[in-house]
Amino acid sequence: RTRNAELMQDRTPVTMDRTSSNHNASTSAGIRLGPALPLQHFAGSPLDRSLPGVKKFDAGGQEVCLVVCSGREICVHPQESDGSGATQDLQILLLGANDPQLDLNSDEIALLFAPDGEGTDVKRLPLYLLGQDSAERWTFALDISGPCKAAFLGFLQEGCALGVVMQDLRSLMPSLSRDACSIAGQAVSLSQWHQTHRFCHRCGAHTAPVEMGMRRKCVVAEHKLYPRTDPVVIMLVESPDGRRALLGRSRKFTPGMYTCLSGFIDQCESIEEAVRREVREEARVAVEEVQIVGSQPWPIGRYGSCELMLGCVAKARSYEIMVNTGEMEDVQWYDRAELRAAVGLYDDLGDASVAELQQHSMDSLGFFVPPPLAIAHHLIRLWARAEGPWFPAHPASSSTAGGPGSSSSKAPASAL
């Protein structure tokens, strides 16, 4: 690859008048709070999640809503496009709060279901409280994971004549509305967490859902377990001259896709420390300033966990890249014009599918960036459409091999 070799010979510093910048931010201990990204997918739930400590569900005539889920799968039905691109919607089941099939006042709230249809072998399908909708109806995730899954889905399809399917939420994202994505994300997060925390982490005994499915409790020692969210930093790294951004790809990615570097935050590590460490580990690029610009919940994370993506823009102190091949396949500097064109393709090609857009980007640019469903896209877009450098430009560190003024011409994308 010659991209980085060319960069080493073209590093004229760019200056910027900070008094006219629209990137206003307060600085404290090297971290900046920057202009916010737009609201991301999975955020902005239409449900009211400010839940009371105690709530009775036996009020006459009150309805409750059930969202059917199983791990990362959610129950959906097709719908005509509403102009927003949504072609599927969540299948919501409405029941009266006093329905005999509902048990909403036990420690382990559940829907009672008889797979044989005769009521001789009643199963308890767990419910997890999600919040209240705009009509003040309580909304629950109904978890059908386990041996009853096929029978319950068959009951909906045949007994209720519903044209529903269970589908992985990740594949559903482009066809669901933003509100539906948010509710579905909360439901599958709880389902996955309950499935992976059936045993006490202290004594190994069984655990059971409590507090309307919002917690689990050890049945022996009564230790409580709380749903977990794993924090992840994801960063757009700007070059020292402010003209280029650092993107990389893992071997697991779709061929041709380059995106922002990212990584989990370690225990007792700040956001800015995690950004610097991850960039150093993956590309051997030194980073100084870090600016937080937004976040995105990601309920379909690695290893079945719910992640919180913390979006940042960071300033590099060096240009030379040394790819850590244990973590990355490639890392490259891309200039602003390239990235502006890459994000612009998602706006310009109308009704083309994501796959068609990405192929067009490959044909015209030789790479593509993630679609607008991911915070990485919006970090790239935010930086690419800025009028100038994000941070004040300055020369790269003189201790960096091949720094400004060096006559050496080397391709810094060497492997560790």
Mean pLDDT by 10 residues, the chain (416 residues): 48 34 42 74 94 52 91 92 78 91 91 84 94 92 95 94 95 94 97 95 94 93 92 97 96 95 97 98 96 96 90 96 96 97 88 87 95 97 94 56 34 41
Write out the H or E segment, with its range, that includes residue 141.
strand 138-143
332, HSE (Cβ side, Cα atoms, 13 Å)? 22
Query: What is the rounded CA–CA span in Å between residue 306 and residue 214?
Result: 15
pLDDT computed for residue 348 by the predictor:
83
Collect all residues with Cβ–Cβ distance below 8 Å to 140 and sequence separation of at least 6.
64, 65, 66, 67, 109, 127, 128, 129, 130, 213
pLDDT computed for residue 36 by the predictor:
78
The predicted model scores a pTM of: 0.85
- CA-to-CA separations, 297 to 6, 172, 180, 334, in angstroms, rounded: 37, 16, 14, 27
pLDDT computed for residue 3 by the predictor:
54
Contacts made by residues 265-269, CB under 8 angstroms, sequence distance 24+: 265/231, 265/232, 265/233, 265/310
pLDDT computed for residue 351 by the predictor:
76
pLDDT computed for residue 270 by the predictor:
97
pLDDT computed for residue 19 by the predictor:
32
| Tokens matching residue 370 | 């993630």
Query: What is the rounded CA–CA span in Å between residue 413 and residue 416?
Result: 10
